[in-house]
Chain A
Amino acid sequence: MKKILLALNAANPDMEALDLACYLGKLTRSKVTGVFMEKEPLQPSVTPAEPFLLQERSSGAAVNPVLDQAIFHFKEACICRETNYLLTRENAITAEELIEESRFSDVLILPAGLSPGTGPQTAPSPICRHVLSGAHCPVVLSPGSFERVDEIVFTHNGSKASVFAMRQFTYLFPELANTPVTVLAVNSDKETLADKPALMEWLTAHYRQVAYNFTSGDPVDQLINYLLPRRYAFVVMGAYGRNAMLRMLKRSTADPVAETLFNPLFIAHN
C-alpha cells in the first residue's frame, strides 16, 4: 500500500488527474489522499498544519461551500471508480503545505495546470512548477486525458538522476512488472552509452519485456517523436529534466492556454 497524494483545484477539479490517481490507487491497492487548493479561502485557515480526519470536524471550523462541494465530488468520483480515498484536511492547502505533505507521501499526482483560480491556466502553472521543484517525493504530472498504461518509457542518459527515477518508479509500481518497457537512450555526441549492460542487468531483473532503443540527436526531439503514436505510454523522466517536460507541453499547439500533456510524466529528483 502506498500513499498517493492528489492535489486538486477546489473550484475546478481536474478529472483527468483523478482518473490517473484512481488508476494508480487501484493498481497498488492504495487509498488516494485528496488535498484541495483554493484561491481565497472564505475564512483564514483555522489549523493549517494540523491534519485530522474530516469526520472529526470541529463545530467551529469555517463553512466553505466551494471546498465542501469539491470534497463531495472527490468522494463520489472515487466511489464511482471503485477506489478507496482518504481526506485528512478540512481546509484548503497552500503550495508550501503541499510540499510539506509530499515529504510524507509515496507519490504526488499533480495536474500540470494546477492553480487555485477558476479560469483555464497555462500549463505548467506557476504553482505546478513551484511544487515540482520543491516536492520531496516523486511527482506524476497528469496528462490531458488518461485511460490506461500499455507501455513504460524510461529515459536514460547514464546519469545518476535517470536511474534514480527508474528505481523509484519500479518500487512504487511493482504491479507493472509485466508491462512492456522501452528504454529511450539518446545521446547527441557518442555512438552508444557505456552503461547499457549494467542497466539491462538491472532492468531485466525487474521487468519481463525490456527493449533498448538508442538514437542520436536532440534528446527531447527524439523523445517527443517516439511518444507521438504512443498515447498509453507512461514516461519516466530523470534524464533531460525540466527542459524536456516544458517542451513536451509545448508540442501540442501554439496556443499557450491549451497546452496539454499527452502522456503521464513521472518525475523523481534527488
Chain B
Amino acid sequence: MKKVLVIFDGAHFPSSTLDFALEMNSRERILLTGLFLPSVDYAEAVRYLYYGNALTPLYLEEYQDDAISIKENIARFEQFCNQHHIHYRIHQDIRKGIVKELQHQTRYADLMVVSSMHFYENLGEMIQEEYLDDTLHRAECPIVLLPGTYSRPGSIVFAYDGSASSMHAIRQFIYLFPQWTDLDTVIMYADDGSDDIPFLPLIREYASQHFSKLAYYKLNAEPKKYFTTWIENKGSALLVSGSYGRSAFSELFHRNFLKDVVKEHLVPIFIAHL
C-alpha cells in the first residue's frame, strides 16, 4: 500500500489531486495522507514583504479564517475518502516552516501530488513560484505536479539525457505506476547538436523489459523553442523528469524548460530527483 500525500493550503481544495489519488487507488489500495497547511507561512511571511505584497495587515484575519477553512476542508476530505473507501490520515496543526515541514513529510511518503495551479495561489504568482520551487527541490519523494485538472494520461514521455538522474526518475516511475507501463511510451532526448541518444543500447535493453509500446525520439532544432509546442501536441501526455530546473538536463533546453511546462499548465509532470 503506497502512501500518497496531498496538500491543502488554506481554503483551497484542489480536487484534481484527489481525482489522481482515486485513480491510483482503483488499481492498488493507497494510504492517502491529507496535509492541511495554513494559507500563509506565518514565520516566513515577513521575508516576503520585500516583494511589496501588503500581506501584514491581512495576517490576523487570515489566521482566524484559516482555522475555519481548514476545518471545512478536512470534513470534505474525510467525506471524499469515506465515500470512495480510501484509507486516509490527516496531518494538521502546522503553523510555520511549511517548506521544511513538507520536506519532512515527503521523507516518509511514496509520492506527493500537488496542483501547480492551486498551490499557494493566494500569495500571488511570484511567491507561489518560489514556494513551489523550494518544495520541489527539497522534496525527498517523487512528486506529481498536476495542471488545473486531471484526466488519465494517454501516453508517457520520459525526458532522457543519459544521466543517472534521468534514469532514477524512469525507475521510480516504473515502481510507482506499473499500471501505466503499457501506455504509449516515448523516450525523448533533446539536443541541438548532432549527437546520438546517449547509451542507446543500454537504455533500450532496460526500457524494453518494462514498456510494451516504446519509441525513441530525438528532438532536434532548438528544443528550447519547440519543446512546449511539441509536448502540447502530444495531447494527454504525462512528462517524467529527473530534475526541476537545476541540472544537466535543463542545459539541453534552457534553464527553466520544465518551469514553462508548469507555468502554462500544459501536462502533468512526474519529478523524481536524486
Using a CB–CB cutoff of 8 Å, the interface residues on chain B facing chain A are 1-3, 31, 33, 89, 104-105, 107-110, 140-141, 164, 167-168, 171-172, 175-176, 199, 201-203, 205-206, 209-210, 274
Nearest-Cβ distance from residue B5 to partner chain A, whole angstroms? 11
Q: Shortest Cβ distance from A214 into chain B, in angstroms?
A: 17
Interface residues of A in 25-51 (CB under 8 A from B): 50-51
Interface pair A164/B3, CB less than 8 Å apart: no
Could you say which of B141, B171, B175, B203 has the most chain A C-beta atoms within 10 Å of its C-beta?
B171
B164 touches A103 (CB 8 A): yes
Q: Does B3 contact A104, Cβ atoms closer than 8 Å? A: no
Q: List residues of chain A with CB under 8 Å of any chain B CB.
A: 1, 3, 50-52, 88, 100-101, 103-106, 136-137, 160, 163-164, 167, 171-172, 195, 198-199, 201-202, 205-206, 270
Q: For the complex, what is the distance from the CA of A103 to the CA of B141, rounded to whole Å?
A: 19
B202 touches A106 (CB 8 A): no
Do the beta carbons of B108 and A198 come within 8 Å of each other?
yes
* Contact of A160 with B107 in the complex, beta carbons under 8 Å: yes
A100 in complex: contacting residue of B3, B89, B202, B205, CB < 8 Å: B202
What B residues does A167 contact at CB under 8 A?
110, 141
Nearest A residue to B166 via CB reads: A103
**Contact: A201 with B3, CB < 8 Å?**
yes
Q: Which residue of B lies closest to A269 (CB)?
A: B274
Selected contact of B167 from candidates A51, A136, A172, A202, CB within 8 Å:
A136
Quick check: A198 and B274 within 8 Å, CB to CB?
no
Residues of B within 8 A of A100 (CB): 199, 202
Cα distance A94–B212 in the bound complex, in angstroms: 31
Q: Is the CB of A103 within 8 A of B202?
A: yes
Q: List 10 A-B pairs, minimum CB-CB distance, nearest first.
A: A171-B175, A198-B108, A104-B202, A136-B164, A202-B108, A104-B206, A205-B31, A205-B1, A205-B3, A270-B274
Complex Cα gap A52–B108 (Å): 40
Q: How many angstroms from the CA of A163 to the CA of B105 in the assembled complex?
A: 12
A-B contact pairs, 15 of them (CB 8 A): A100-B202, A103-B164, A104-B205, A136-B164, A136-B167, A160-B107, A164-B140, A171-B172, A171-B176, A172-B175, A198-B104, A199-B108, A201-B31, A202-B3, A205-B3
Q: A205-B3, A270-B274 are known contacts. Are A195 and B202 too (CB-CB below 8 A)?
A: no
**Docked-complex contact A1 and B210, CB < 8 angstroms:** yes
CB of A157 to closest CB in B, whole Å:
12
Q: Which residues of the partner chain A approach B140 to less than 8 Å between Cβ atoms?
A: 160, 163-164
Q: Which residue of B lies closest to A105 (CB)?
A: B206
What A residues does B110 contact at CB under 8 A? 167, 202
- A103/B167 in contact, CB under 8 A: yes
A3 adjacent to B108 (CB under 8 Å): no
What's the Cα separation between A3 and B208 when bound, in Å? 11
Contact, CB under 8 Å: A106 / B171: yes
Closest to B202 in A: A104
In angstroms, Cα B140 to Cα A171, docked, is 15
CA distance A201 to B105 in the complex (A): 11
Taking CB atoms, residues of chain B closer than 8 Å to A1 are 209-210
A71 to B22, CA, bound (A): 48
A83 to chain B, nearest CB (A): 15
Contact between chains at B202 and A198 (CB < 8 Å): no
| A137–B170 alpha-carbon span in the complex (Å) | 12
Kindly state the separation between the CA atoms of A163 and B1 in the bound complex, as whole angstroms.
Answer: 17
Residue ID in chain B nearest A194 by CB atoms: B104
Instruction: Report Cα–Cα, A201/B30, bound state, in Å.
Output: 12
- The answer to whether B167 and A104 touch across the interface, beta carbons within 8 angstroms, is yes
CA distance A136 to B141 in the complex (A): 17
Determine the chain A residues whose CB is within 8 A of the CB of B1 once the complex forms. Answer: 205-206
Known: A1-B210, A163-B140, A202-B109. A101 touches B274 (CB 8 A): no
Cα-based distance from A88 to B110 in the complex (angstroms): 33
**Contact A52/B31 with A106-B171, A198-B108 known, Cβ cut-off 8 Å:** no
Taking the closest CB of chain A, its distance from the CB of B133, in whole angstroms, is 19
Smallest Cβ distance from A91 to chain B, in angstroms? Answer: 14
- Max chain B Cβ within 10 angstroms of own Cβ: one of A52, A100, A104: A104
Residues of A within 8 A of B3 (CB): 201-202, 205
Check if B199 sits within 8 Å of A104, measured CB to CB. Answer: yes
Partner of A198, one of B2, B107, B167: B107
- What's the Cα separation between A202 and B141 when bound, in Å? 12
Q: Is the CB of A205 within 8 A of B167?
A: no
A163 to B109, CA, bound (A): 10
Q: Which residues of B contact A171 (CB under 8 A)?
A: 172, 175-176
User: Which residues of chain A are within 8 angstroms of B141 by Cβ–Cβ distance?
Assistant: 167
